Amino acid sequence: MQTIAPAPFRGGLRINPGSALFLFICWWLLAWIFGAVVITRTGSSTVGLLRLSILLQDLIIFIMPVAMTLILAAKNPLEFIHIKKCPGTINSILVPLTIIVAIPAMNLLVKWNEGMHLPESLSAVEQILRTAEENAGATINMLLGEVGVSDMIISVLLIGILTGIAEELFFRGALQGILLALFRNRHLAIWTAAFVFSAIHMQFFGFFPRLIMGAFFGYLVCWSGSLWLSVIAHALNNSLVVLSIWLIRTGAISSDINTIGTGTSAASIMLVVASGLLTAIAVYTIRRVNNIHSL
């Protein structure tokens, strides 16, 4: 009796995973070039134009490559990127709670990363990197526009919600799914996608916090089987940054939320320790609540 060899693992793809990854990279490069031309022509000299540039960036550079790749490569594009499954009520409560309790611990990690220095021989490179960090902060401040409630809402919609959706579709939906089909190892796929996610932001002095955050988003998709859970986490994280800056500019608060847990007092240290423990408990609880391996 002739034995039929099993079909190669493709993880929901109709083509070889390596070919799918190559196709995804090609579409992304084409979208990046096209987006760069369009955004450059649009300009960013005013708040309105800058907001339009962010909108075009999310749609062209992040969402378009996902759509073009999966239409050609995936058997069922919507199932492949895990957007057909709702995150569930318990998950939708636990994840925002985790993001909030993690703030002090993440702030300390951010402070540590910002305090890193390159060797003296690379001081010029370090200066370029730090200037890029300052420009990124200035861009967010400019995006906020005035201090009206409408400006805050628009910024949350753009930087928080739209960017959260676009980047999660790109990194956790398409890239992580393709890498999983290629590697057949969820941890390697999650951390590789997180590494790319952090590196592509071109902000070295925020690399490690963003790497950890990206991995957390990846595991949320893995555990829940729903991309919407990582979208919620990503959008909330971005929105808290926007809201913090807006509250400072309006005079409602005097200190940035990103400074919580970065002090050297005993109280600050205890807060960070408590934050780390509560975050670990929250992440463990999310894992236990889902108790599945969706990817």
Instruction: For residue 251, give both structure tokens.
Output: 């005079």
Q: Could you tell me the mean pLDDT of each successive run of 10 residues in the chain, 295 residues long?
A: 46 91 97 90 80 92 96 94 92 96 94 85 80 75 79 91 96 97 96 96 86 97 95 96 88 81 90 96 94 56
Which pLDDT score, from 0 to 100, does residue 8 have? 53
Maximum CA extent, the chain: 79
Which stretches of the chain are DSSP H helices?
Answer: 17-42, 47-56, 64-73, 77-80, 89-101, 103-114, 123-143, 149-155, 163-168, 176-183, 186-199, 207-224, 227-250, 266-290
**Residue 267: CA count within 13 A, CB half-sphere:** 1
pTM: 0.91
Instruction: For residue 229, give both structure tokens.
Output: 């859970």
CA dist., res. 287 & res. 94, Å (int): 11
Which pLDDT score, from 0 to 100, does residue 131 have? 81
Which pLDDT score, from 0 to 100, does residue 292 have? 58
Q: Residue 13's beta-bridge partner residues?
A: 74
Backbone angles phi, psi at 104, to 5 degrees: -60, -45
CA dist., res. 77 & res. 20, Å (int): 13
Q: 195: exposed, middle or buried (C-beta count within 10 Å: 0-12, 13-18, 19+)?
A: middle
CA dist., res. 120 & res. 123, Å (int): 5
